[in-house]
């Protein structure tokens, strides 16, 4: 069973929908009989995704939209919402999924930081602020699913701009859900989607074959649909290498840095390597 918002003839809007997890979600929802709008940067990739979706949709091309959008620009997100409303009447499911990970360093170019934060964090803020009020006003069950990351929770060293953006997504989505559940007559809920290792163009790093440790985008989307239907806010996805229990121990250790007053990112501090290993083992 899927969530009531994921029903035939309802409308899903998915940013970053031309590839990876976004396209997999669009294909699954089109397969459920939903009308689907994908938003992504323009180009051949967007047109190819639109054609693929049209072949899977119950109503063919009539049930599919593809719009070129830069989610870091709120005026473009507002134009997307207006276009969806004009074509399909409004959105029942919004999946704020657009994201980039070009890599970053602490003292790297400012423009790189601004772009990562603009897409990964501001894109989700823009999508939620633009779509949510009209979704609430529709008076129908609705979903806002924001794609976060485990890196926004445990914040490992190596890509600080990405970590900051995804930590912001976590905090924003928690606040959004609190707001929605305390809004009179709202039937819309927010959910934080936290994929594990997924083999996509974003994570391939030159590889052409999926590593054994990774899930496919389709596996990840199926897990997300199942857990959203079950009512989970934190949709914490495993993969073929990291089971949920290991994620839980890593997350608890990260929170423990504050409680125990350990050094920042003590999981990667040589003086705490043995203690972390024992903690993960449950000792």
pTM of the model: 0.96
Q: What is the pLDDT along the chain (283 residues), one digit of tens a residue?
A: 789 999 999 999 999 999 999 999 999 999 999 999 999 998 899 999 999 999 999 999 999 999 999 999 999 999 999 999 999 999 999 999 999 999 999 999 999 999 999 999 999 999 999 999 999 999 999 999 999 999 999 999 999 999 999 999 999 999 999 999 999 999 999 999 999 999 987 666 667 787 898 999 999 999 999 999 999 999 999 999 999 999 999 999 999 999 999 999 999 999 999 999 999 999 8
Helices and strands (DSSP H and E) totals, the chain: 11, 7
Q: Class of the 11-242 domain?
A: alpha beta
**Which are the catalytic amino acids?**
162
Domain ranges of the chain: 11-242, 243-283
Beta bridge partner(s), residue 133: none
Question: How far is Cα 47 from Cα 131, in angstroms, rounded to an integer?
Answer: 24
Pairing of strands 234-236, 188-194: parallel
Q: Tell me the C-alpha to C-alpha distance, in Å, between residue 24 and each of 35, 57, 95, 113, 241.
A: 15, 13, 12, 28, 21
């Amino acid at each position: 069973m899927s969530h009531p918002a994921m029903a035939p003839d309802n409308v899903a809007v998915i940013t970053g929908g031309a590839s990876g997890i976004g396209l997999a979600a669009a294909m699954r929802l089109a397969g459920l009989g939903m009308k689907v709008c994908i938003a992504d940067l323009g180009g051949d990739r967007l047109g190819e995704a639109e054609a693929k979706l049209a072949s899977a949709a119950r109503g063919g091309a009539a049930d599919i939209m593809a719009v070129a959008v830069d989610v870091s620009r709120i005026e473009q997100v507002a134009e997307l919402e207006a276009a969806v409303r004009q074509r399909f009447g409004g959105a029942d499911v919004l999946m704020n999924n657009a994201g980039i990970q070009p890599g970053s360093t602490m003292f790297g170019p400012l423009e790189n930081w601004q772009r990562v934060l603009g897409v990964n964090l501001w894109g989700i803020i823009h999508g939620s602020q633009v779509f949510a009020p009209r979704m609430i006003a529709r008076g129908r069950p609705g979903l806002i699913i924001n794609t976060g990351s485990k890196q926004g929770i445990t914040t490992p060293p190596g890509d600080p701009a990405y970590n900051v953006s995804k930590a912001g997504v976590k905090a924003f989505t928690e606040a959004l859900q609190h707001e929605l559940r305390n809004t009179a007559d709202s039937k819309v809920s927010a959910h934080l989607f936290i994929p594990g290792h997924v083999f996509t163009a974003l994570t391939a790093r030159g590889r052409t074959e999926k590593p054994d440790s990774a899930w496919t985008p389709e596996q990840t989307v199926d897990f997300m649909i199942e857990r959203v239907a079950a009512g989970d806010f934190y949709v914490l996805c495993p993969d073929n290498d990291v089971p949920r229990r290991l994620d839980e121990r890593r997350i608890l250790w990260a929170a423990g840095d504050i409680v125990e007053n350990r050094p920042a990112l003590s999981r990667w501090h040589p003086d705490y390597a043995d203690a972390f290993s024992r903690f993960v083992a449950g000792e």
